[in-house]
């Protein structure tokens, strides 16, 4: 049983994404056709910036089909090319996308490293939307590491920026992710409040993926409140939309949650049907986090059935993969990485403040110099006038 976090990819548009192919991606039902059109565009591309845009779009499409190896392949190509030509906007997009991929693979250390790089560039070029997206993505990583206070802090930072920008999709995504934290902190009523606010926005904007995500999260809240029928209805709604969208990762998650709901209701055959589908899909797309959830759900199912041998086997599978995702070294490295970023940011701020103060002092010194020159010049003029006046008086006396 799990919520669904929401990434935000508006930075692809905000930083000048490949508009033509973005439109094609929305129109084509078969993602393979979109990928083919992007490969065709890549072959004819002559400018490096167009190549980078196309590579990033390819990476994004492979993420949608949960083919993370291919997604990372083209994401890294975009990253390398953007670094080669030193195009900061494209570098930020590439880092952001690669961070998403690493997060989906459960490699949180590398994911955070990429998002921190993206954040630094977003701050440098003054892209507020990109900064908010980076905060959101980093919050997702801390959420996965069970560091809920840090995740909530980052989500709230992102929300504040989205609200200032009037970014409805960003606001809705932030509401969803904040709701997940409240759920994790066992505050289901506040979580549900956030989800319902997100759902209203997604329905208004016609964001089907967002609607499916929110139905899933609402189902999760009802499940925690032991309202299994309401929970199941929302999970089924989410699964139906995800199937139409062809979102295999969302399908894996939804099937797992549907299986959990059926287990709670004692409908073990239906539960097994959905949980096995979830496990198969999770293995196909290589999502360790979803595989982990499928294992623990199957363990709970067999425990309910009284088959303790099978329950133990699946719980062992779950423990092994959980340990690989949440090892102490990874958590320590992530904390150190964030501390390093914060320290470097403070150093940059201090350096900027020092430079500002130096410039201000230079200006003060300049003004003092101008004032002194003016006063000095005035005194010289007065002295000269006095001397001339005296000479004039002497001449007058001599003439008389």
DSSP type of residue 45: -
> Is this structure's pTM higher than 0.95?
no
Query: 287 near 313, Cβ under 8 Å?
Result: no
Say how many CA atoms lie within 13 Å of 176 toward its Cβ.
Answer: 32
Say how many CA atoms lie within 13 Å of 121 toward its Cβ.
Answer: 22
pLDDT score at 169:
93
Could you tell me the pLDDT band of residue 4, with boundaries at 50, 70 and 90?
Answer: low
The three state secondary structure string of 245-296 is HCCHHHHHHHHHHHHHHHHHCCCHHHHHHHHHHHHHHHHHHCCHHHHHHHHH
pLDDT higher than threshold 60 for residue 263: yes
Read off the tokens for 79.
């990253």
2 vs 111, which has greater pLDDT?
A: 111
Could you tell me the pLDDT band of residue 31, with boundaries at 50, 70 and 90?
Answer: low
**Mean of pLDDT over the chain:** 83
pLDDT higher than threshold 80 for residue 364: no
Say how many CA atoms lie within 13 Å of 5 toward its Cβ.
Answer: 21
- Greatest mean pLDDT among 57-61, 270-274, 377-381: 270-274
Query: 156 near 194, Cβ under 8 Å?
Result: no
pLDDT higher than threshold 70 for residue 337: no
Dist CA 370 CA 366 (whole Å): 6
DSSP type of residue 30: S
How confident is the model over 334-347, as a mean pLDDT? Answer: 62
For helices 248-264 and 208-224, angle between their N-to-C axes, nearest 10 degrees: 20
Dist CA 178 CA 47 (whole Å): 41
Q: Could you tell me the sign of the dihedral formed by the alpha carbons of 183, 188, 194, 199, in that order?
A: positive
Could you tell me the pLDDT band of residue 288, with boundaries at 50, 70 and 90?
Answer: confident
Dist CA 123 CA 132 (whole Å): 10
pLDDT score at 135:
95
pLDDT higher than threshold 60 for residue 56: yes
359 vs 55, which has greater pLDDT?
A: 55
Q: Which one, of 99, 184, 172, lies nearest residue 143 by Cα? A: 184
Of 31-40, 67-76, 135-144, minimum mean pLDDT range: 31-40
pLDDT higher than threshold 90 for residue 239: yes
pLDDT score at 14:
35
pLDDT score at 192:
94
pLDDT score at 106:
83
Query: 90 near 78, Cβ under 8 Å?
Result: yes
Dist CA 338 CA 149 (whole Å): 14
Query: 170 near 129, Cβ under 8 Å?
Result: yes
Dist CA 377 CA 369 (whole Å): 12
Of 3-12, 103-112, 145-154, minimum mean pLDDT range: 3-12
Dist CA 298 CA 314 (whole Å): 6
Percent of the chain at pLDDT > 90 equals 53
pLDDT digits (tens, 9 = 90+) for 94-133: 999 999 888 888 888 999 999 999 999 999 999 999 999 9
Query: What is the widest separation between alpha-carbon atoms in the chain?
Result: 136
- The per-residue DSSP string of 81-112 comes to HHHHTT-HHHHHHHHHHHHHHHHHTT-HHHHH
Percent of the chain at pLDDT > 70 equals 78
The CA-atom distances, in angstroms, between 105 and each of 110, 141, 342, 370 are: 10, 12, 26, 64
Q: Which one, of 207, 201, 198, 163, lies nearest residue 177 by Cα? A: 198
pLDDT higher than threshold 80 for residue 91: yes
Classify the phi-psi angles of 286: left when phi > 0, otherwise alpha if psi is within -120 to 50, otherwise beta.
Answer: left
Determine how many CB atoms are found less than 10 A away from the CB of residue 191: 25
Determine how many CB atoms are found less than 10 A away from the CB of residue 249: 22
């Amino acid at each position: 049983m799990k919520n669904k976090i929401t990434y935000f990819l508006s930075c692809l548009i905000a930083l000048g994404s490949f508009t033509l192919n973005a439109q094609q991606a929305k129109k084509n039902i078969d993602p393979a056709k979109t990928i083919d059109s992007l490969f065709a565009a890549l072959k004819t591309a002559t400018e490096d910036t167009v190549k980078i845009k196309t590579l990033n779009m390819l990476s994004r499409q492979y993420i949608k089909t949960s083919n993370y190896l291919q997604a990372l392949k083209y994401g890294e190509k975009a990253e390398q090319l953007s670094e080669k030509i030193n195009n900061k906007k494209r570098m930020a997009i590439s880092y952001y996308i690669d961070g998403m991929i690493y997060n989906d693979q459960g490699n949180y250390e590398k994911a955070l490293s990429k998002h921190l790089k993206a954040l630094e560039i977003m701050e440098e070029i003054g892209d507020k939307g990109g900064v908010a997206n980076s905060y959101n993505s980093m919050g997702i990583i801390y959420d996965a590491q069970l560091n809920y206070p840090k995740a909530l802090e980052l989500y709230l930072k992102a929300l504040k920026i989205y609200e200032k920008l009037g970014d409805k999709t960003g606001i809705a995504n932030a509401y969803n992710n904040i709701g997940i934290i409240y759920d994790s902190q066992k505050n289901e009523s506040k979580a549900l409040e956030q989800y319902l606010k997100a759902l209203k926005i997604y329905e208004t904007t016609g964001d089907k993926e967002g609607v499916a995500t929110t139905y899933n999260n609402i189902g999760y809240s009802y499940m925690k409140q032991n309202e299994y029928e309401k929970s199941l209805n929302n999970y089924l709604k989410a699964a139906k939309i995800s199937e139409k969208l062809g979102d295999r990762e969302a399908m894996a998650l939804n099937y797992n949650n549907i299986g959990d709901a059926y287990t709670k209701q004692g409908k073990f055959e239906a539960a097994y049907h959905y949980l096995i589908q979830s496990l198969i899909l999770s293995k196909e797309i290589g999502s360790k986090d979803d595989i982990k959830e499928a294992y623990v759900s199957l363990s709970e199912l067999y425990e309910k059935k009284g088959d303790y041998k099978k329950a133990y086997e699946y719980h062992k599978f779950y423990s092994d993969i959980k340990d690989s995702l949440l090892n102490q070294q990874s958590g320590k490295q992530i904390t150190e990485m964030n501390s390093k970023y914060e320290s470097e940011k403070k150093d940059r701020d201090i350096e900027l403040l020092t430079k500002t103060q130096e410039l201000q002092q230079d200006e003060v010194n300049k003004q003092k110099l101008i004032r002194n020159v003016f006063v000095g010049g005035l005194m010289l003029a007065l002295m000269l006038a006095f001397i001339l006046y005296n000479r004039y008086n002497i001449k007058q006396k001599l003439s008389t």
